[in-house]
Amino acid sequence: MAKRPAKSPAPEADDLASAPPIAAGPNVPELSVSELANALKRTVEDRFGHVRVRGEITNYRGPHSSGHVYFSLKDQNARLDAVIWKMTFLRLRVKPQEGLEVVATGKISTFPGKSSYQIVIETLEPAGAGALMALLDERRKRLAAEGLFDAERKKPLPFLPRVVGVVTSPTGAVIRDILHRLLDRFPRHVLVWPVRVQGETCAAEVAAAIDGFNALPVDGPIPRPNVLIVARGGGSLEDLFGFNEEIVVRAAAASAIPLVSAIGHETDTTLIDFVADLRAPTPTGAAEKCVPVRAELVEQTANLARRLAGAERRLLDANRRQLASLQRVLPAGAQLLLAPAQRADRAGERLRSTLRRALDGKRLSLSRVSHVLARHSPQAELARASERLKGLQARLRQGLVARRALARREAEDAQRRLDHAEQRLRSAFLRILDERQARLDRLDQLRKTLGYEQVLARGFALVRDETGALLRQAAEIASGQRLDVQFSDGRIAATAESDRAPPSPAHPSPATPSPTPAARQKRAKGGGDDQGSLF
């Protein structure tokens, strides 16, 4: 088997990149695929550091699951793969869209895994005003379809706001123009929310400022504005693009405070102008639309006061002339009172006759009532009530006597029933007592028959030790031990004198185990025998 020649050391990648072409031959150094791919990668990246490429976005499918974005840039004759890393994509002001022509800035690199090259995009801009306007037109139509630009949503501005909120750059000329115009027309309390009015963070800061003003409490330490002005000076379409962002448009649409947009010059139009409650051509015009002219209000008020005073004088003069005319037409006062006086006299006469007739009728009615009252006088009613009371008292006494007699009879009946029940209870109690006594006598007779006293009467005796425990065998007794011997007629004390064991019987009985101390104590407490109690 032929031996394989040793592999020569690989040259450095930089040397390969800068080395002149070498003719093919047996002396050409051998390279691995990775070494060649890395050398090509360094060559491409060194040759094309940062480039700006213009092309149309194609094959765009949105962010990958990793957050990175992959698509291609193409023109009429070629296509270039492109990638935007996740963090770069989040910072982009203009997001890629399918078919959008853009200018991409980045660096060219290779992807060794596919033997392809690609551009790693760092910034992305629409390619010219035409593409940018197409993007804005598409966004405007989409937001208009949602109803964000409807006139019904727009709120009227307050006539004289107490606090004016301004969203703009604090260092530009816009805020000075607004403050100067407000000071000239009607000085108001102004709150400025500083933001960047162009750049990548412009849209987010403007939207946050609008939301921040709306989040202020009505009675908080910082007064809540009654009207908002979002202002910026003139500029190119790219400079004003931050006010075309969707986040700014939605924040302006959600604002509960009336909002005035003053972006750029009068010819500049941004999407926030469509959603704002009022569009001003310039920041100075916005200040003019927010507050009236104080001098004009004072002059108008004075003019109205003069007109009101003149109208009052004219009204008084007209009323005087009308009163004088009426006085000439009307008759004298004495003549006016003649007819009413005559009517009053006639009415007085009719009233007197009517009163006399009414008085006569009342007297007749009174006499009739007095006659009825005489029959029903208090004395007569009291006498009749006294008679009824006496009758009721007599009936009450009779009822009480009958009630007492009835109660006495019921008490006697109850006493008789109680005596009879007592006799029956006493006889029943004596009968039960006799039956219990007879049963007790029988049980006592049975106890005496079965008890050990009968055994003692036949000549037997019980032997106990000092503790009262029953002794059944002589082996349990020690010499000199104190004994208690019980006969049928009494007990005597004895002392064991001999410790010699008694002779064994011819036919010994089965050994009886000696009681344990616990058993002895139990027998001492229970009477000293094994005879059970029938009770």
pLDDT at 448: 78
Task: Please give the structure tokens belonging to residue 221.
Answer: 């330490």
What residue type is 125 in one-letter code? E
pLDDT at 45: 67
pLDDT at 532: 44
pTM over 0.75: no
pLDDT at 429: 92
pLDDT at 7: 40
pLDDT at 304: 94
Is the separation of the CB atoms in 88 and 75 below 8 Å? no
Alpha helix stretches (DSSP H) within 231-377: 246-253, 271-275, 283-290, 294-329, 333-375
Task: Please give the structure tokens belonging to residue 358.
Answer: 């009414």
Query: Within the chain, which residues score under 70 in pLDDT?
Result: 1-26, 45, 128-131, 332-333, 498-535
- What is the Cα–Cα distance from 227 to 165, expressed in whole angstroms? 6
For the stretch 327-357, pLDDT in tens is: 777 776 677 777 788 888 889 889 988 999 9
For the stretch 213-250, pLDDT in tens is: 999 998 889 999 999 999 998 877 777 888 989 999 99
Within its chain, how far is the Cα of 444 from the centroid? 85
Let me know if 520 is exposed, middle or buried by CB neighbors in 10 A (0-12, 13-18, 19+): buried
Is the separation of the CB atoms in 109 and 118 below 8 Å? yes
